[in-house]
Amino acid sequence: MKDSKMDSLDAKWVRTALLHHTLGGVEREGGWSPQRFTERQLDVYAAQEAQGKRSRCSAGVVMKLRTDAERLKLSVVFQGAARDYAAFDLYVNGRGIVSEGIESFEGQSAVRVELSFAIPLLPGERGKRNALRIVFPQNVETLLLGVEVSAGAVVEPVAKHPRRLLSLGDSITQGMDGRHAAYSYPVQVADFLEMDLLNQGVGGYVFDPDSLDPALAEHYPADLITVAYGTNDWNRGYERREFESIVSNYLDKLISIYPNVPIYVITPIWRRVAEEQRSLGNLHDVAAIIAAVAARCAQVKVIDGYGLVPGDERVFADGTHPNDEGYTHYALQLLKALR
pLDDT value at 1 more than 50: no
Q: Note the pLDDT tens digit of each residue in 192-235.
A: 999 999 999 999 999 999 999 999 999 999 999 999 999 999 99
**Residue 6 φ/ψ, nearest 5 degrees:** -125, 145
Q: What is the pLDDT of residue 4?
A: 56
Does the pTM surpass 0.75? The reply is yes
pLDDT value at 2 more than 90: no
Tell me if 203 sits within 8 A of 51, measured CB to CB. Answer: yes
- Strand 300-303 vs strand 263-266: parallel, antiparallel, or unpaired? parallel
| CATH topology match: 6-157 vs 164-338 | no
Q: What is the pLDDT of residue 141?
A: 98
**DSSP string across 211-242:** GS-TTHHHH---SEEEEE--TTGGGTT--HHH
Fold that domain 164-338 belongs to in CATH: Rossmann fold (3.40.50)
Q: What is the pLDDT of residue 44?
A: 99
What's the chain's average pLDDT?
A: 97
pLDDT value at 58 more than 60: yes
Q: Note the pLDDT tens digit of each residue in 17-35.
A: 999 999 999 998 889 999 9
Q: Note the pLDDT tens digit of each residue in 256-273.
A: 999 999 999 999 999 999
Q: Report how far residue 172's alpha carbon sits from residue 202's, in angstroms, rounded to the nearest whole number.
A: 8
Q: What is the pLDDT of residue 121?
A: 93
Q: What is the pLDDT of residue 29?
A: 84
Fold that domain 6-157 belongs to in CATH: Jelly Rolls (2.60.120)
| Domain spans, the chain | 6-157, 164-338
Q: Report how far residue 115's alpha carbon sits from residue 102's, in angstroms, rounded to the nearest whole number.
A: 10
